[in-house]
């Protein structure tokens, strides 16, 4: 229980305390208008009929009509530079973005290819902007948005994806663990737990956009159907597991017919979802979830004895879980505001629920096994008493005793086998966690350390430099004209070029003190211990020359690539913030690009 509480607290802290950097959007900033086959020019000319949102994130609930949304940004409300309108809703069916600057419609970039839509636009602080969104959704029409800088977008997106990865990892680990237990002990509750966790994983992948981006990216029409299907699956398998764990029967639970009816409606919804419009299946599943919550709550009240430890764990986990499901249902019907709690309480509750239910199943299994052992012990004592009372049957008594001892020995051997198998699976899970840790620190394309690892190394190097321990140089490398390589030879050949450049740089910078990482795309960074700028310049020039003089396989051809390098020195005992170093080396890299590429530029200042 303590470990489960700590895990839930950690998940809440990371999610809830993640700061939102950028311009805050307040209640009333967004105004909206139901679409009447308007185009953007028509909407720009409409001055009346707009309604103000009651909440910072507009929430219209389930509606089958598209809407126009407008956000006005007065002059000097945003700093100059690139900004993003970040929409925290992964399952909107259709989303179109338009930008008006000082009364003129401006061209806009398409949305970033991310799990959550993000639209980029350039800001001149002296101009007034109006942002327009045309939104159509087969699910609840919710528009929680945020105005953020590019750095903030990348940082928060990485944090959110990491948290979601941890959540899915916990679910997968619990599924595998209980699947192993089911194979060993053949208790139906373990396989019901696996199905319950699997349905929840599918639900999270659908609602959070993971499925659309990674699992079924080539089937855009399947995304809307997967939302309704996964919701029905969660209802059906959750109620099935709840009924099995609480041992619901006709003689101990009066509304059992209604309980199994709701479960069966969940299975029926899964079956008909591919044949009905997505918005009807999603609406029906969300409505059915309220009845499922009521049935589960009543079952816990009537069947869960809090004096029984597995029942206490079950009630603790499901109380948070059903509360989260209820809040999410109210959220999707537009009855409450889209907030961190209303969106994520179901996920928090699911983490606690999965861990606590896993412990509860184990306790229940051990309780039942102990009851069997006690029953066997009582039987042995009864046989012993009968042996002493009946002298005439002493021979048969000894035979029975031997049989009982053989049974006990067989059970002991089975117990040893079970413990050994559990130990083997535990070691396997440990190995999987270690592989996951390795994958989280390495770039999958080049096998270099990734950007997250680099940020940790840079912070440590800056701390050592500030303490006077070392002087080092920060190098930022970019492959010149890489877009031309992709356009000419294709993205697979471009990946080969990135691997080739990484391999050449790794061979050139092969001494142990150098930290070479992939920063993203065709950019690399390196931390190199040096004595002065001349040495840093020399190392960077040698690295540039090595790449320029070594042909690299690019599809069926071999090409000569060049790189541009920005260099910033970090002298010992001269503290510099990490953000400032990254700005300086990025500026130096752009200076090298402006000087004609295939060169090295030292940062100044």
> Which residue stretches of the chain have pLDDT < 70?
1-23, 110-113, 212, 218, 220-221, 304-314, 316-318, 321-322, 324-325, 329, 331-335, 338-373, 375, 434-439, 512-513, 605
**Site of tokens 């900033």:** 29
Q: What is the pLDDT of residue 396?
A: 75
Q: Are 450 and 158 in contact (CB under 8 A)?
A: no
Residue 87 near residue 95, CB atoms below 8 Å = yes
Please report the sign of the dihedral spanned by the C-alpha atoms of residue 350, residue 351, residue 352, residue 357: positive
Alpha helix stretches (DSSP H) within 112-213: 150-185, 188-207, 210
Instruction: Answer yes or no: are the C-beta atoms of 340 and 69 closer than 8 Å.
Output: no
Q: Which phi and psi (to 5°) does residue 98 adopt?
A: -130, 150
Report helix, strand or coil for 499: helix
Distance CA 12, CA 341 (A): 10
What is the CATH T-level fold of the domain 451-602, as seen in this structure?
Answer: Alpha-Beta Plaits (3.30.70)
The model scores a pTM over 0.75 = no
Residue with tokens 């102990």: 370
State residue 5's pLDDT score: 43
Over the stretch 442-487, which tens digit does the pLDDT of each residue have? 888 888 999 989 999 888 888 888 887 788 999 999 999 888 888 8
- Using only the alpha carbons of the chain, give its radius of gyration: 31
CA distance 127 to 226: 43
CATH class name, domain 22-151? mainly beta
Taking the CB of residue 550, how many other CB atoms lie within 10 A of it?
16
Q: How far is CA 148 from CA 25, 78, 335, 425, 576, in A?
A: 11, 10, 28, 45, 25
Rounded CA separation 474/489 (Å): 32
CATH fold of the domain at 154-365 = Rhopdopsin 7-helix transmembrane proteins (1.20.1070)
Q: Give the separation between CA 191 and CA 177, rounded to whole angstroms.
A: 11
Structure tokens at 303: 């069947």
Q: What is the DSSP letter of 18?
A: -
Judge whether 171 and 349 are in contact, CB under 8 Å.
Answer: no
Sign of CA dihedral 272, 273, 278, 283: positive
Q: Identify whether the C-beta of residue 474 lies closer than 8 Å to the C-beta of residue 527.
A: yes
What does the pLDDT read at residue 222?
Answer: 73
Distances (CA, A) of 214 to 205, 218, 274, 284: 9, 9, 21, 27
């Amino acid at each position: 229980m303590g470990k489960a509480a700590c895990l839930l607290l950690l998940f809440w802290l990371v999610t809830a305390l993640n700061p939102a950097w950028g311009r805050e959007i307040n209640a009333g900033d967004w105004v909206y208008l139901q679409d009447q086959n308007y185009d953007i020019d028509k909407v720009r000319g409409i001055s009346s009929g707009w309604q103000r949102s009651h909440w910072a994130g507009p929430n219209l609930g389930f509606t089958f009509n598209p809407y126009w949304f407008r956000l006005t940004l007065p002059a000097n409300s945003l700093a100059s530079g690139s900004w993003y309108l970040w929409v925290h809703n992964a399952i909107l069916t259709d989303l179109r973005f338009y930008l008006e600057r000082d009364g003129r419609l401006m061209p806009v970039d398409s949305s970033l290819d991310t799990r959550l839509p993000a639209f980029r636009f350039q800001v001149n602080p002296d101009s007034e902007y109006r942002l327009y969104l045309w939104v159509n959704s087969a699910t609840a029409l919710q528009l929680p948005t945020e105005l953020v800088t590019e750095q903030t977008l990348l940082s928060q997106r990485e944090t959110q994806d990491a948290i979601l990865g941890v959540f899915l990892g916990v679910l997968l680990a619990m599924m595998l663990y209980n699947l192993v237990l089911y194979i060993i002990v053949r208790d139906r509750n373990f396989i019901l737990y696996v199905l319950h966790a699997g349905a929840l994983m599918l639900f999270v992948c659908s609602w959070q956009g993971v499925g659309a981006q990674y699992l079924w990216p080539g089937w855009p029409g399947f995304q809307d159907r997967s939302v309704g299907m996964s919701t029905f699956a969660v209802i059906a398998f959750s109620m099935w597991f709840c009924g099995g764990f609480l041992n619901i029967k006709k003689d101990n639970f009066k509304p059992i017919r209604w309980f199994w009816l709701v479960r069966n409606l969940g299975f029926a919804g899964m079956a008909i979802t591919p044949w009905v419009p997505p918005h009807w299946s999603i609406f029906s599943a969300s409505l059915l979830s309220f009845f499922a919550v009521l049935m589960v709550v009543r079952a816990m009240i009537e069947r869960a004895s809090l004096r029984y430890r597995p029942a206490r764990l079950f009630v603790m986990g499901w109380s948070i879980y059903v509360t989260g499901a209820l809040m999410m249902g109210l959220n999707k019907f537009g009855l409450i505001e889209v907030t961190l709690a209303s969106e994520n309480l179901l996920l928090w509750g699911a983490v606690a629920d999965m861990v606590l239910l896993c412990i509860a199943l184990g306790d229940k299994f051990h309780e039942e096994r102990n009851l069997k052992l006690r029953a066997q012990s009582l039987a042995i004592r009864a046989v012993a008493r009968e042996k002493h009372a009946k002298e005439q049957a002493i021979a048969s008594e000894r035979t029975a005793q031997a049989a009982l001892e053989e049974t006990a020995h067989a059970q002991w051997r089975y117990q040893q086998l079970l413990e050994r198998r559990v130990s083997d699976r535990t070691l396997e899970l440990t190995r999987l966690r270690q592989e996951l840790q390795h994958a989280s620190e390495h770039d999958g394309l080049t096998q270099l350390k990734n950007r997250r690892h680099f940020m940790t190394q840079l912070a440590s190097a800056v701390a050592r430099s500030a303490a006077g321990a070392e002087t080092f140089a920060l190098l930022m490398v970019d492959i010149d004209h890489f877009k031309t390589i992709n356009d000419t030879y294709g993205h697979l050949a471009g990946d080969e070029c990135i691997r080739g450049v990484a391999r050449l740089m790794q061979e050139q910078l092969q001494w142990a003190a150098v930290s070479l990482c992939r920063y993203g795309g065709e950019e690399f960074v390196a931390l190199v211990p040096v004595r002065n700028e001349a040495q840093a310049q020399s190392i960077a020039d040698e690295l540039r020359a090595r790449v320029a003089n070594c042909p690299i396989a690019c599809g069926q051809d071999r090409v000569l690539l060049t790189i541009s390098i920005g260099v910033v020195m970090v002298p010992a005992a001269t503290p510099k913030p990490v953000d400032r170093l990254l700005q300086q080396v990025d500026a130096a890299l752009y200076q090298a690009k402006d000087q004609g590429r295939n060169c090295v530029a030292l940062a100044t200042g």
